[in-house]
Amino acid sequence: MNFLFCIFLLYVTHKTVESHAHYEVKEAENLFRRLFKLRRVEQLAAVKRIRSLDSEEKQKKMIMTAAEKIFSMLQNNRIILETAGFVPGVSSFPEDEDIRDALSNLLENTALIGDIILRLPEISQSLLSSHNNWVILLSWSLQFANQTDLLDQQTVTLIDLVSQEMNFTARSDNYINPYKYSYRSEKEQEENEIKPLKPKKKNKTKDSRRGPRLSSRGNGEL
């Protein structure tokens, strides 16, 4: 009986520890999702600042600098995740903090470059066309991000739009880049606000004072 009781006690203890560990991982995943959303707000604000720069040359420099860092991060974190054997959609949320950081960095940077591509498509796609290795890495990271179950719906939509914009996936019949056209309307509105108001032209009509006037009728009669 004592032996059976010990076995039972070990079983219960194991289940308790296992349950506690599962709870901690689930809490870590929920925190991961919340922090990801907050980070996305910061990233979007940064992209909007790039878009508001007053010259295309400045925008190009900023995007080039950002892209170099982003794709370096994507490559480094891809190596970490693949080495750890993490498979999106298959592997459970990682318990190891280093793997979590790699996962977070990869998803955040994938979404960030997606924001840049959609909101500044002409500049970003021109840049990507001269860096084929970046295009290949972008295609991989978009697929990776799409296979995880860690993104909010807004980011899932973003990933889908970027994939279509880059022609990684077939474009739907009604595909449109909504950020591209909203940017144009914003710029037009800004330009209209900047234009100085033209002074009103003075009315050059003759004086219409009341009273009798000489008539041109007849022989100079009044």
Q: Does some domain include residue 192?
A: no
For the chain, give the percent of residues with pLDDT over 90. 67
The yes-or-no verdict on residue 72 having pLDDT over 80 is: yes
Q: What is the pLDDT of residues 1-17, one digit of tens each?
A: 555 555 555 555 444 44
On whether residue 76 sits in a domain, the answer given is yes
What is the full DSSP assignment across the chain?
A: -HHHHHHHHHHHHHHHHHHHHHHHHHHHHHHHHHHHHHHHHHHHHHHHHHHT-S-HHHHHHHHHHHHHHHHHHHHHHHHHHHHTT--TTTSPPP-SHHHHHHHHHHHHHHHHHHHHHHHSHHHHHHHHTT-HHHHHHHHHHHHHHHHSS---HHHHHHHHHHHHHTTSSPPPTT---HHHHHHHHHHHHHHHHHSPPPPPPP--PPP---S-----STTT--
Q: How confident is the model over 117-138, as pLDDT tens digits?
A: 999 999 999 999 999 999 999 9
Whether residue 198 lies inside any domain: the answer is no
CA dihedral sign, ordered 61, 118, 47, 100? negative
Mean pLDDT, residues 72-92 taken together: 96
55, pLDDT greater than 60: yes
pTM for the predicted model, two decimal places: 0.74
The answer to whether position 13 is within a domain reads yes
Full domain range(s) for residue 148 = 2-185
In a domain, 117, yes or no: yes
| pLDDT over 80 (residue 219) | no
Tell me what pLDDT residue 189 has.
Answer: 47
Number of domains in the chain: 1
Question: Quick check: is 143 in a domain?
Answer: yes
Q: How far apart are CA 141 and CA 144, in angstroms?
A: 5
Residue 25: its pLDDT value, please? 80
Mean pLDDT lowest among 83-87, 119-123, 132-136, 210-214:
210-214
pLDDT averaged over every residue in the chain: 82
pLDDT of 24 reads 78
Flag whether 51 is in a domain: yes
- Rank 148-157, 199-208, 211-220 by mean pLDDT and report only the highest: 148-157
Domain annotation covers residue 220: no
pLDDT band for 68, please (50, 70, 90 cuts).
very high
